[in-house]
Structure formats: structure tokens, C-alpha cells
């Protein structure tokens, strides 16, 4: 959420940012919120003036009574009552205007970083760097579900019977591999100085609207019927929400956290849910990293965070690349974002396995996360990034570690979590 002062003092900056994000339909909202803000401030000023008049008149009533001027005292009482009615009306107006202003401010996009490439959608995202050499063997790589089935590690039919499309049963070596990757990711981040958390998997609506845009909420979140609770789509929601309405001391920053959670997503949109596969699904697990820091440090932490993901995948011998998200592909709260994509030997292309985002002070403004600094209070900056999200990551892992015989190599870093195994054998 933007600072209202920015719209008062530099509305052209906000308009230009909206144009860069190709959201021209939101341009009239700038003038609308400026006018509402003027009306709100005028109402507030008038209410403050009336309160001062009422306080002065209330004191005068006592003096008039003491001096026997009862008629004048009664007249002043009537004036005080009239002022009280007007103040109540103005207070109602203030609340209504505040809500209208906030609702508009919630849909205006955050100011993007100058380094963000300008483009309409994800087709105009820009490759930054590749890490590791993409390799395609001279034997066929089957579809990931076929690889899992050959190891007797997945049952989609049973999941469809119990839950429908977008769900799965993992079993045997594949289920163990899934858990091992998450355990390795946990320890990988702890070794890099991040504090490990298991957060609540449900959050209230005020946290939901604090961490994401309305469009994202509508397309992602599952609501618990009859309660003010939503299932989280990522542990970022709980972890940033942890700081709602708090004031952090400057020496408590940065907060560097890594969290495990199941994630639940509607996945509403043109892409739909896969009927046979685990790339886009309703339920998955993820290890996340979150940073809350001073504004001047957020870009430094942004670079640290995406590099952590690259290092994690490279430690498992998976080639990856980073892709800068263009302006039109950025969610409204984001200042800057890049995707980490893993190499798929079967498709001979990269696909997304994680995303690193700097949200500036947008979430902090919505949630009231402030820092008590040497020169006063200010809003913190928040960042989030995927460490790993199996089972999607399993696709890259299985394809890049598949032998010609159909077995799966286990990289050295993962063997302690797999009981020392260096190979998973094909079963059928």
C-alpha cells in the first residue's frame, strides 16, 4: 500500500507507475483518492475545530452558572449539544471516507524499482543468469508421473477418488525423497543463519488482506466456512502476519526466518489444474525464507535470498537460471521479483520452481509493522523467497537424476536424509 503523502505531493509518479504496469484502468483512481483525501482532511479539521469550541463552551457553562447567568448557561448548553451532533456526523463521515480511501489504496500498485524491465506479461520477463550446464541425455526422459509410477511412488487414481483432481498420494521411496528434500532444505537454511519456524496453517482475514492483493486472494485462498480463517497458500502469509501491529527495535533487524508448511491453493485461472501430474496442484509442501529488515538493506537481502535458492538447487546438481519479472508480471505489492527456474531435460527448457520478491514497505503499511529507529518510527521492508516446493521440485530432481535404466541417482548432499542410499531402483 502506498503512502497517501505520495499521492498528495507526487501524483504523477503514481500515474506513471500504473502505466508501466499496464493497468491504465486504475488511472482515474488517483484523482478519486486525492479528492476523497481532501474531503477527509477538511472533515477532520472541522471536527477538531468543533471539539475545541465544545470544550471551551463546556468550561464557560460552569462559569456562567457560578455567576447566576442561568439563561445564558442554558443557551450555551444547547450550543454544546448542537456541536456534539455535528461532531458525531463528521466522525461518521471521517470513518466512511477513511474506508473508501483505504479500499482504493489497496488496489493501487506499489512503486516498482527502476531496475525492473518494462513489459506487459511473463512473456517479456528477462533472463539474468544461468547456473550449471543444461544437459539432455541421449535416452528418453519419461513424463514425471511415469517415472514415479515406475518406482511405485505415486497413486493419482486413489487421490481422485478421495479428493478430486489436483491431489496425490506419494508413497515409498518417492514419499521419502519428498520429505528428505524438505529436511535438507530446512537444515540448509539453518546453516545460513535463518531461524526455523513451523507457523499456523490458517490465518485471519486482516492478515490475508495485509500480505496480498484482492485479486491474488480471490484466485488462491480457501476460506473456512463460518469462521474468519483462511488456509494459507504459503507460509509467507503466516510469517509476515506474525509481526502484525508490532513495533520492532532497530537492533532486532534483520529478522531472517525460514518456515515449513503445507500450502493450499485454488489455482483459479487459465492454466487450470493438471489431471495427471504434480506441477500445478491444490496441495503441496514448501520451505520458505522470509526477511524483515530496514529499508536501506532490502535490496541487499533480495540478492542474498535468490542466491540461496540457486545454491540449494546446485547442491543437488540441478541446473537453474534466474529470470527477472517484468513490470506487467509483478503482483501489485511487489517492488522487484525474480523467478528461479530449473532445467527440464524432458522438455529441454527451464520451468519455475521458486520466486524471490521484495515488497518494500507495502505489507508493513497494511499490517502496521513499524521499526523504532534512532530518528523515529518507520515501516519495515519485507521480502520472501521459495527455498524449495516439492512435489514440483521433484519433477526437476527426477528428470536430472534419471539413469538410462530408470533408476534415480541420489546426490551426495541428500544421502544422509535417505538412509545413505545413493540410488533408488526402478520397480516396474
Q: In angstroms, what CA-CA distances link 341 with 140, 156, 259, 331?
A: 22, 25, 21, 18
Predicted TM-score (pTM) of this structure: 0.89
Q: Within its chain, how far is the Cα of 236 from the centroid?
A: 6
Burial class from Cβ neighbours inside 10 Å (0-12, 13-18, 19+) for residue 133 reads: exposed
Dihedrals φ, ψ of 309, to 5°? -65, -45
DSSP alpha helix (H) spans, 242-369? 298-315, 362-367
pLDDT above 60 (res 270): no
Same domain, 207 and 101: no
Span 184-201, pLDDT tens digits: 999 999 999 999 999 999
pLDDT above 80 (res 376): yes
User: Would you tell me how many other CB atoms lie within 10 Å of the CB of residue 244?
Assistant: 18
In a domain, 332, yes or no: yes
pLDDT reported for residue 68: 79
Same domain, 130 and 56: no
pLDDT reported for residue 74: 75
In a domain, 401, yes or no: yes
Kind plus residue range of the DSSP H or E element containing 258: strand 255-264
In a domain, 114, yes or no: no
Domain extent, residue 22, equals 4-105
In a domain, 111, yes or no: no
pLDDT reported for residue 428: 64
Total count of domains within the chain: 2
Among 57-61, 147-151, 163-167, 191-195, which is the least confidently predicted range?
Answer: 57-61
Cβ neighbours for 342, distance < 8 A, ≥ 6 positions apart:
313, 318, 319, 320, 350, 351, 353, 393, 395, 396, 400
Among 31-35, 164-168, 309-313, 314-318, which is the least confidently predicted range?
Answer: 164-168
Output DSSP code: residue 402: B
Same domain, 100 and 128: no
Rounded Cα distance between 30 and 153, Å, is: 54
Strands of the 247-249 sheet, one edge to the other: 247-249, 370-373, 376-379
In a domain, 145, yes or no: yes
pLDDT reported for residue 284: 93
pLDDT reported for residue 273: 60
Q: In angstroms, what CA-CA distances link 316 with 142, 388, 410, 413?
A: 20, 12, 8, 7
Rounded Cα distance between 269 and 19, Å, is: 24
Q: How confident is the model at residue 275 (pLDDT cuts 50, 70, 90)?
A: low
Of the residues 73, 105, 137, the one at which a domain ends: 105
In a domain, 157, yes or no: yes
Q: What share of the chain is helix, strand, coil (3-state, %, to 5)?
A: 45, 20, 30
Residues 150/428, Cβ–Cβ less than 8 Å: yes
Domain CATH code at residue 18: 1.10.287.40
* Percent of the chain's residues with pLDDT above 90: 81
Mean pLDDT along residues 40-59: 87
Amino acid at each position: 500500500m502506498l503512502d497517501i503523502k505520495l499521492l498528495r505531493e507526487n501524483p504523477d509518479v503514481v500515474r506513471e507507475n500504473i502505466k508501466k504496469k499496464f493497468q491504465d484502468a486504475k488511472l482515474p483512481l488517483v484523482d478519486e483518492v486525492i479528492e476523497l483525501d481532501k474531503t477527509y482532511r477538511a472533515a477532520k479539521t472541522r471536527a477538531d475545530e468543533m471539539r475545541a469550541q465544545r470544550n471551551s463552551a463546556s468550561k464557560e457553562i460552569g462559569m456562567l452558572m457560578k455567576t447566576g447567568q442561568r439563561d445564558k448557561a442554558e443557551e450555551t448548553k444547547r450550543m454544546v449539544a448542537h456541536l456534539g451532533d455535528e461532531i458525531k456526523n463528521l466522525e461518521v463521515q471521517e470513518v466512511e471516507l477513511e474506508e473508501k480511501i483505504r479500499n482504493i489504496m489497496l488496489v493501487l500498485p506499489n512503486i516498482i524499482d527502476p531496475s525492473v524491465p518494462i513489459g506487459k506479461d511473463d512473456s517479456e520477463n528477462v533472463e539474468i543468469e544461468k547456473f550449471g550446464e543444461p544437459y539432455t541425455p541421449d535416452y528418453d526422459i519419461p513424463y514425471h508421473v511415469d517415472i514415479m509410477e515406475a518406482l511405485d511412488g505415486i497413486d493419482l487414481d486413489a487421490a481422485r477418488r478421495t479428493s478430486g483432481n489436483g491431489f496425490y498420494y506419494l508413497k515409498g521411496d518417492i514419499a521419502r525423497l519428498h520429505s528428505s528434500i524438505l529436511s535438507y532444505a530446512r537444515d540448509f537454511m539453518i546453516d545460513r543463519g535463518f531461524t526455523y519456524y513451523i507457523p499456523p496453517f490458517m490465518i485471519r482475514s486482516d492478515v490475508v488482506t495485509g500480505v496480498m492483493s484482492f485479486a491474488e486472494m480471490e484466485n488462491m485462498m480457501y476460506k473456512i466456512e463460518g469462521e474468519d480463517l483462511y488456509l494459507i497458500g504459503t507460509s509467507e502469509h503466516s510469517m509476515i502476519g506474525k509481526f502484525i501491529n508490532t513495533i520492532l527495535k532497530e537492533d532486532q533487524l534483520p529478522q531472517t526466518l525460514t518456515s515449513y508448511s503445507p500450502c493450499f491453493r485454488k489455482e483459479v485461472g487459465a492454466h487450470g489444474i493438471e489431471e495427471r501430474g504434480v506441477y500445478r496442484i491444490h496441495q503441496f509442501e514448501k520451505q520458505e525464507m522470509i526477511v524483515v529488515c530496514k529499508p536501506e538493506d532490502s535490496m541487499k537481502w533480495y540478492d542474498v535470498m535468490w542466491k540461496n535458492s540457486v545454491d540449494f538447487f546446485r547442491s543437488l546438481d540441478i541446473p537453474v537460471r534466474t529470470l527477472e519479472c517484468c513490470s506487467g508480471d509483478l503482483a501489485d505489492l511487489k517492488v522487484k521479483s525474480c523467478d528461479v527456474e530449473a532445467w527440464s531435460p524432458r522438455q529441454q527448457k527451464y520451468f519455475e520452481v521458486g520466486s524471490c520478491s521484495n515488497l518494500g514497505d507495502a505489507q508493513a503499511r497494511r499490517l502496521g509493522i513499524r521499526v523504532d529507529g534512532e530518528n523515529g518510527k518507520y515501516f519495515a521492508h519485507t521480502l520472501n523467497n521459495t527455498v524449495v516446493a516439492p512435489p514440483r521440485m521433484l519433477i526437476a530432481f527426477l528428470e536430472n537424476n534419471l539413469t538410462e535404466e530408470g533408476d534415480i541417482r541420489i546426490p551426495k548432499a541428500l544421502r544422509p536424509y535417505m538412509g545413505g542410499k545413493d540410488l533408488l531402483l526402478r520397480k516396474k
